[in-house]
Amino acid sequence: MKNRSMTAQSVRAVGRRGPAGIMALVAVASLAAAAPAVAAKQPRQVAEAVAQRVAGEPIMAIVSIKSQQVTFYDADGWILRAPVSTGTTGRETPAGVFAVIEKDREHRSTMYDDAWMPHMQRITWNGIALHGGPLPGYAASHGCVRMPFGFAENLFDKTYIGMRVIISPHDTVPTEFSHPSLFVPKPEAIAAVPGRADKLSIEAEEATRVADEAKKAAATAAKEAASLPAALRKLEQQKARADAELAFADKTLANARNDQARAKAEELKQKAAAKAADAATQLEAARAAAQPKRDAVAATKEAAKAAAARKTEAVKVATDAKLAGEPVSVYISRATQKLYVRRNTHKPAPDGGGEVFDTSIEVPVTIRNPEQPIGTHIFTAMAKTGTGLRWSVVTIENGDEARNALDRIAIPQDVWDRIGPTALPRSSIIISDEPLSSETNYRTEFVAVLSNEPQGGFITRKPTAPAMIASDDGWDNGFGFFYQRDPYVQQVNPRRRSQYQYYQPAQPFQRGFW
């Protein structure tokens, strides 16, 4: 009551001072009301943190848009933490699942007037990245995740291509998790990987050599047979002319009026008959010689086809054997009812920038109650244990509880048998309502964005250009496939559910040895 009395007295006092006093009071009140908003925009103190223990290799980074903070985790917990500045209104950093796909220590933006983005770690090819930059204390970027300059520099050499980056709309942390559906590797299978990969690599190289020789033999036979039609046509024309000359001689002989004319016509007929017989003999001999060449073309073509099939199978098996020594990532989409598998081949992309990811497994998957949301959960193998792997889960969209989400999925056993026994730490299984983003291509790990969160900084950028890569023998006589990304359709409203195209392979992937 005392405060109200004092306020009333102040108002009456200002009133006695007239309009000028009233205006002054309004100004003071306005400043007082604006003070909290101004304070909220003031840059906060940069507070980085380092775990007080020996840090291992980072396995994942989690960016919290809500707290404007990034945290890096190794097998035993968090190791590095720092404030960040994500995308501002209209250019929001997309929430979703990403991975580091390219690193550039001294990057200059091609999108924003050659802007300096030091220690850039790209997570999409259309321009979303983690990099050093100014931190005003609130979301202020064009969609990237700015980190403190020194933090970004110290972090740069610790990360690697393929490291998981999770951008969450809220605060979340990895939680220890176990479930029967998660990979349980077999030590003997893992131990056998190097020897098996070497053996199958040699077999694939031999199959490739045989296929190349068969292909050359088929090409040589085809080249030799290519001249047959023209040669046979020439002999057929010669025989036709000889037959015509013989018919003319017969006609001349029949029309002879005297002995001298008949004798001359008889001589002409004998010559024409000999010429016709010779032409017929040459034609029959050529036809007889042509048939084995035709048979050789057919035989070498079939042999080349069979050798190519054996090469394809040998390459497939050798590639799988070699990839078994890499962490595996699985993505299961409720939207597409499909399961996708990716592993980094560590082969430089043939068109420059980043590395090539193997995308050879894509199969249908059954999800119970597919009309019900399942959420977005990232299960990660953090480390080896005495019985297999220690797993964690990060949930960034809780459509269903993580354990229930796994329970709802019937994972093809043949796929699990193919990749589970050799699963390593850093392997992951992602379950999501979302389809893969159209930014997912042969140079990325999985890219998926939450469609019910703002994505302005993602959709306003120029999309990745469609890519075409030659198959099989297209480059380095190795791993390759034909891939063309579907066209990108921009979203109408960045704050509404996503309306752009999602990842769809243009045609089945073809694989080559790498």
Over residues 354-374, the pLDDT tens digits come to: 899 998 899 999 999 999 999
Predicted local distance difference test score (pLDDT) of residue 503: 54
Could you please report the per-residue DSSP string of 56-110? ----EEEEETTTTEEEEEETTEEEEEEE-B-B-TTSPPPPEEEE--EEEEEEE-T
Three-state SS for 367? strand
Lowest average pLDDT, out of 162-166, 271-275, 314-318, 442-446, goes to: 271-275
Residue in the structure block whose two tokens are 């690193």 = 103
Q: Which has the higher per-residue pLDDT, 38 or 482?
A: 38
pLDDT surpassing 50 at residue 42: no
Of the chain, the end-to-end C-alpha distance in Å amounts to 82
Tell me the C-alpha distance between 449 and 333, whole Å: 12
Sorting pLDDT into bands at 50, 70 and 90, what band is 112? low
Sorting pLDDT into bands at 50, 70 and 90, what band is 33? very low
pLDDT surpassing 80 at residue 28: no
Lowest average pLDDT, out of 5-9, 106-110, 184-188, 232-236, goes to: 5-9
Tell me the C-alpha distance between 413 and 393, whole Å: 22
Rg (CA), the chain: 37
Predicted local distance difference test score (pLDDT) of residue 502: 56
Residue in the structure block whose two tokens are 């080249």 = 223
Could you please report the per-residue DSSP string of 371-402? TS---EEEEEEEEE-SSSEEEEEEEEE-SS-H
pLDDT digit string, tens, across residues 55-105: 999 999 999 999 999 999 999 999 999 999 999 999 999 999 999 999 998
Predicted local distance difference test score (pLDDT) of residue 111: 65
Lowest average pLDDT, out of 31-35, 394-398, 406-410, 429-433, goes to: 31-35
Predicted local distance difference test score (pLDDT) of residue 366: 96
C-alpha torsion sign, points 430, 431, 432, 434 = positive
pLDDT surpassing 80 at residue 262: yes
The pTM of the full predicted model, rounded to 2 decimals, is 0.73
How does the average pLDDT of the chain come out, rounded?
Answer: 81
Distance of CA 157 to the CA centre of its chain: 24
pLDDT surpassing 80 at residue 475: no
pLDDT surpassing 80 at residue 426: yes
pLDDT surpassing 90 at residue 11: no
- Two tokens, residue 476: 């380095």
Closest CA to 347 of 323, 329, 324: 323
Predicted local distance difference test score (pLDDT) of residue 491: 35
Predicted local distance difference test score (pLDDT) of residue 293: 79
Sorting pLDDT into bands at 50, 70 and 90, what band is 507? very low
State phi, psi for 275 to the nearest 5 degrees: -65, -40
- Two tokens, residue 106: 């001294």
- Two tokens, residue 139: 């979301």
Are the CB atoms for 324 and 337 separated by under 8 Å?
A: no
Sorting pLDDT into bands at 50, 70 and 90, what band is 482? very low
User: What is the average pLDDT across 211-219?
Assistant: 93
Question: Is 179 known to be catalytic?
Answer: no
Sorting pLDDT into bands at 50, 70 and 90, what band is 487? very low
- Two tokens, residue 421: 């026994």
Catalytic residue chosen out of the listed positions 107, 131, 142, 377: 131
Closest CA to 404 of 372, 442, 450, 426: 372
CA dihedral 181, 184, 189, 190 (to 10 degrees): 120
Could you please report the per-residue DSSP string of 285-302? HHHHHHHHHHHHHHHHHH
pLDDT surpassing 90 at residue 169: yes
Catalytic residue chosen out of the listed positions 107, 119, 142, 144: 144
pLDDT surpassing 60 at residue 2: no
Closest CA to 483 of 470, 500, 501, 464: 470
Question: Is 131 known to be catalytic?
Answer: yes
Please name the residues in contact with 4: beta carbons below 8 A apart, sequence gap of 6 or more.
none
Three-state SS for 425? coil
